[in-house]
Chain A
Amino acid sequence: MDELLQHLVNGLVLGGTYALLGIGLTLIFGLMNVVNFAHGEFYALGAYATFAGLTWTKMNFFAALGLAILCGILVGARTERVLRRPLRGETIDTVMLVMIGVWIAMQNGELLLWGGVAKSIPHPFPTAPLTVGGVSLAPLRVFVLGAVVLLIAGTHLLIQHTRLGRAMRSTFQDADTAALMGVRIRRIHTTTFAIGSGLAAAAGALLGPIFIAYPSMGDLASLKAFSVVILGGLGNIGGATVGGIVLGIAEELGAGYVSSGYRDAVGFVIIIAVLLVRPAGLFSRAERIG
């Protein structure tokens, strides 16, 4: 029983991190229709920015998290402005190829700057786990889970209940009409990409201290983020959240009770099963917004 509970807690924490990766990508992939292979690199950027903040300037851990998110937003905004804006009339494939280029360039840039040796990111939380019954959890993971909940709720509020969110929704629903109504759609594109990238950087900053930072860390993150977005339904924040948690728990239970060698396979079997029944993902709506 303790074992099952521990697996569920592990799955929930892991799923929360998948969800955070997923909501960033669901904005970029689901809303903007950009197949962003570089999403995982913004995740790595977040982790390395946190590491740089902590070791170079010796700043406070929480300030370093803020710095990482800011880095993600700024680099994301520049990427959209410089590389993607000129391609807005182009097909989805062209943009995808450019994003593959960004992915390769960013990953090799990290390798050049930081070297291949993994970095361990220090954090101020005690390493002794909290234990309730037979279930233990590190304090850092509790903090991360809390931060994930806040970030997801914040993104949801931003999109559903602010002027900017309304502008975003209208832009991706019908760009021409939105433009006629006075929405500055080019700026909205840049902002959306920046928010998505900032969320990826936040995920990297939060998960970097739990794991370790290394240049190819983004590959796995991209893979999971795409899985979550497709599982949850494109452009759906609630869907990405539920999708992330479903995937996390499925992998955890699959590894715990089926075979740890097929851990990733179990996750993908669940995705295929869901897509067979609901081809547009768990939570698809006619209007792919919000």
Chain B
Amino acid sequence: MLKRCFTTTLALGVAAALLGSLGAGLDVARAQTPVRIGVIEPLSGPVAASGNYIRMGAEIARDWLNAKGGVLGRKIELVIEDNKSDPKEAASAAEKLIVRDKVPAIMGAWGSSMTLAAMPKLEEYGVPMVVETSSAASITKRGNPWIFRISPPSEMEAIGLERYVDKLGIKKADFLAVNTDWGRGSIQAFGDLLKKKGLQVGAAEYMEQSATDMNAQITKIKASNADTLFLTTAVEQITLVLKQGQEQRLTRKIITTGGSSSPTQLVKQAGAAAEGTYHIVFFMPWFPESMPDGKLAKAFVDEWAKRGHPFEGLTEGFRGHDGVVTIAESVKIAGKDDPKAIRDALWRVNITGVNGPIHFEKDGPAGKESGQSKPSIFIVQIRDGKVALPEFAAK
């Protein structure tokens, strides 16, 4: 009897010990499960090139962070979804990442219309998103407290350009923009800047995102007697507009906005038609030493080349890097990968990315503010088939 009792006790003891060690094993396993970061980018469709470059930049950030031990002693894993350049797909990609993959934070979704479509899902499920590219003002003005933007809204770009307006010699400007929230917002912002400076605003024309023939718009713009054309769209359409402008002998100072112009790709694909054009960019891979953190910028450019990625993708790719390091930093500050904790921690992020300092300030209706960082803004010119600093900006 006593013996049996002893055996039972022993058995229970062994079982308890086993369970205990199993529990400890689970803790170890949890420490080793990666921190997952959701990424929503246009990997196919009309703006696929840009989305893929951002994915490449995000992967560099992930590998660099993991090489240094990850965050909280855990590896970083990217869960990447394709929004197919389509707002509807962006919303369902956000839902899939949150519900199925259980990511605690997302980076996305390139285009303003895609970001705006994904935003209600963030609020519904309470997951923060770092916006890496979108420029429409409405994104941070809508009162969505889960939005943290590291890209400049068009207004900020306009302010960045303000000091060059006289040197550029703008008297009257026309606008040609992609017919999305981004394009419409951009025309508004740069139009306001010109009006504020007492300059004239000419025609405001739009093109569909998938349109390839912009001759009608160019003919109309030609009829206005302006000296400058603000062009807002992604590199594919910029190429077409420059080529078709050349075919119609459109002689204007052309300034592209939004930072998705990839000047190197324009030199390659538009050739002489790109000569003399100005481009607002947020990264200058041609002169990384001129960036706020020259060493980081140089390292990024070198790593990009080492991976065999095309140079023309750098002006887009850095966004992916900066977005991922921002989220990783907030996870570190939060001390856990919980959406709410990451959201609170994002307000305390203070780091320097490839673009420059990243730090969020409140924007939008009181009580429901979104975060908006103040990115660095640069202007470059294509001269003699090369990308250069404009003469007035070169020191």
A156 shortest CB reach to chain B, Å = 25
Instruction: Assess the A216–B45 pair: CB atoms within 8 A.
Output: yes
Chain B residue with Cβ nearest A211: B212
With A129-B246, A141-B247: A214-B219 Cβ-Cβ less than 8 Å: no
With A216-B45, A260-B206: A116-B52 Cβ-Cβ less than 8 Å: yes
Q: How many residues belonging to A are interface residues under a CB distance threshold of 8 Å? A: 40
A23 shortest CB reach to chain B, Å = 19
A33 shortest CB reach to chain B, Å = 28
Instruction: Assess the B210–A216 pair: CB atoms within 8 A.
Output: yes
* Residue with the greatest number of chain B CB neighbours at <10 A, chosen from A118, A138, A254: A118
With A127-B246, A141-B247: A111-B44 Cβ-Cβ less than 8 Å: yes
Taking CB atoms, residues of chain B closer than 8 Å to A254 are 216
Which of B4-12, B268-276, B340-348 is the contact stretch? Answer: B268-276
Taking CB atoms, residues of chain A closer than 8 Å to B179 are 261
B257 at the interface (CB under 8 A from A): no
Give 1 or 0 for each of A19-31: 1 = CB within 8 Å of chain B CB: 0000000000000
Instruction: Assess the B219–A256 pair: CB atoms within 8 A.
Output: yes
With A3-B222, A116-B43, A261-B179: A14-B249 Cβ-Cβ less than 8 Å: no
B200 at the interface (CB under 8 A from A): no
B44 shortest CB reach to chain A, Å = 6
Q: Which of B220, B240, B272 contacts A127 (CB 8 A)?
A: B272
A269 shortest CB reach to chain B, Å = 16
Q: How far is the CA of A117 from the CA of B248 in the complex (A)?
A: 26
B162 shortest CB reach to chain A, Å = 27
Instruction: Assess the B44–A215 pair: CB atoms within 8 A.
Output: yes
Taking CB atoms, residues of chain A closer than 8 Å to B210 are 216, 219-220
Q: What does DSSP make chain A's interface, helix, strand, loop or mixed?
A: helix
Taking CB atoms, residues of chain B closer than 8 Å to A270 are none
Chain A residue with Cβ nearest B85: A216
Q: Which of B51, B211, B246, B265 contacts A263 (CB 8 A)?
A: B211
B1 at the interface (CB under 8 A from A): no
A57 at the interface (CB under 8 A from B): no
Interface size class on chain B is: 35 or more
A252 at the interface (CB under 8 A from B): yes
With A118-B239, A118-B269: A260-B49 Cβ-Cβ less than 8 Å: no
Instruction: Assess the B215–A10 pair: CB atoms within 8 A.
Output: yes
A91 at the interface (CB under 8 A from B): no
Chain A residue with Cβ nearest B84: A216
Instruction: Assess the B220–A3 pair: CB atoms within 8 A.
Output: yes
Binding site for A on B (CB under 8 A): 43-46, 48-49, 51-52, 179, 205-208, 210-213, 215-217, 219-220, 222-223, 235-236, 239-240, 243, 246-249, 265, 268-273, 310
Binding site for B on A (CB under 8 A): 3, 6-7, 10-11, 13-14, 108, 111, 115-118, 120, 127, 129, 131, 136-138, 141, 211-212, 214-217, 219-220, 251-256, 259-261, 263-264
30 residue pairs A–B, Cβ–Cβ below 8 Å: A3-B220, A3-B222, A10-B216, A13-B215, A108-B44, A116-B51, A118-B235, A118-B236, A127-B247, A127-B271, A129-B246, A129-B248, A131-B249, A211-B240, A212-B212, A212-B236, A214-B48, A215-B44, A215-B48, A216-B46, A219-B210, A220-B211, A220-B212, A252-B215, A255-B205, A255-B217, A256-B216, A256-B220, A261-B206, A264-B211
Sorted nearest first, the 10 A-B pairs with minimum C-beta distance are A116-B48, A255-B216, A120-B269, A261-B206, A138-B247, A10-B215, A117-B49, A211-B212, A260-B205, A252-B216
